[in-house]
Amino acid sequence: MTTRTLAGFPVFPIGLGCMSLSHGYGPAASPAAAEALLLGALDRGVTLFDTAALYGFGHNEELLGRILAPHRSRFMLASKCGIFHVNGQRRIDGRPETLRRTCEDALRRLRTDVIDLYYLHRWDKAVPIEDSVGALADLVQAGKIRAIGLSEVSADTLRRAHAVHPIAAVQSEYSLWSREVEIAVLDACRELGAALVAFSPLARAFLADGLPDVAVLGDDDLRRRMPRFLPEAYAHNLTLLEPLRRMAQDHHCTPGQLALAWLLHQGEHVIPIPGTTRLAHLEENLGAAGVRLDAGACAELARLFGRDRVAGERYTPATQADVDTEQFPAS
């Protein structure tokens, strides 16, 4: 598969989401395992590495800086600002002075003089989006960042932001079982020339057929509190995997590769960034770029994972209140 364009850069169609090396799904990877994974990704052709100030409260940016800084010319670096932990509390802060200060912190941790793509991780609804994007535009002008992205925003917010400064990408959850971007954002990105960078494209390991029992998840695993992974909903959702497995066999690939290939077929501007801590999983994910699907297969996969078939909401009400994405009407 040919490269895709992100913020003017040609990138391999599948990038690497780095959060799980530090944050979210249990203990952080060991330094040796993290180094093997990151350098292995680079050697296997990955050209987009995605991190954030939030991940491990700076640990993830520091990790990428330590391991990848000597290879900085070989990849596109994306990070995010606007969500922090202060005294153990998660805080969204999009004030211009905060974004400027945290960009300097990120540059130091990442051991670079410029971040290729810098996202506003969440829109701080107490601050006009125009003000936050204006501050990021100042960072572009100063040569601190090369392009601006937004994460988990609606099409309306994207258009307002784009009127201030071109938005190169919107990062949002997008997978067979999380399709809210199809309401408006996917098309808005296409219209404005922005990429849609899909995080959790394997539904947090569910579509990779790698999570048969949620009871084994640790207390520090964010899935423990997600509605779709609660026992009753998850028992139902597991029934969706058997047809996915059959289709994967028909296409001579794994279920995870099939799920990623479906995403790649949703538009040339779609770039999935699955995360992993294991080289074997990384190689499997990258292999999805070679899986070809016809229109019938894409439609059947979309039908199998229609929103009326998936049990549970994407987020809890409290977490959903922090995002700006469109939602499907309650069923």
Q: Which tokens belong to 194?
A: 């922005």
Q: How many domains does the chain have?
A: 1
d(CA 154, CA 302): 22
**Residue 317 covered by a domain:** no
**119 catalytically annotated:** no
d(CA 193, CA 262): 21
CATH number at residue 194: 3.20.20.100
**Residue 40 covered by a domain:** yes
Give me the pLDDT at residue 249, please: 98
Catalytic annotation, pick one of 25, 55, 118, 174: 55
**Residue 189 covered by a domain:** yes
Give me the pLDDT at residue 214, please: 87
CB atoms inside a 10 Å sphere around CB 224: 13
Of 8, 24, 18, 7, nearest to 46 by C-alpha is 18
**Residue 53 covered by a domain:** yes
Of 194, 153, 197, 189, nearest to 171 by C-alpha is 197
Instruction: Look at 75-89, 99-113, 138-152 and tell me which has the smallest mean pLDDT.
Output: 75-89
Higher pLDDT, 88 or 187: 187
Could you give the angle at the alpha carbon of 310 between the alpha carbons of 307 and 316, nearest 5°? 95
Q: With cut-offs at 50, 70 and 90, classify the pLDDT of residue 1.
A: low
Q: With cut-offs at 50, 70 and 90, classify the pLDDT of residue 170.
A: very high
What is the reported pTM?
Answer: 0.96
Is the pLDDT confidence value at 284 over 90? yes
**pLDDT mean across residues, the chain:** 95
Instruction: For residue 109, give its domain range.
Output: 9-204+267-292
Give me the pLDDT at residue 89, please: 77
The predicted-structure confidence for 198-254, as pLDDT tens digits, reads as follows 999 999 999 998 787 888 888 889 999 999 999 999 999 999 999 999 999 999 999
Is the pLDDT confidence value at 331 over 80? no
d(CA 2, CA 7): 16
Could you give the angle at the alpha carbon of 81 between the alpha carbons of 73 and 224, nearest 5°? 105
The residues near 242 (Cβ < 8 Å, ≥ 6 apart) are none
CB atoms inside a 10 Å sphere around CB 162: 21
User: 234 and 228 in contact (C-beta within 8 Å)?
Assistant: yes
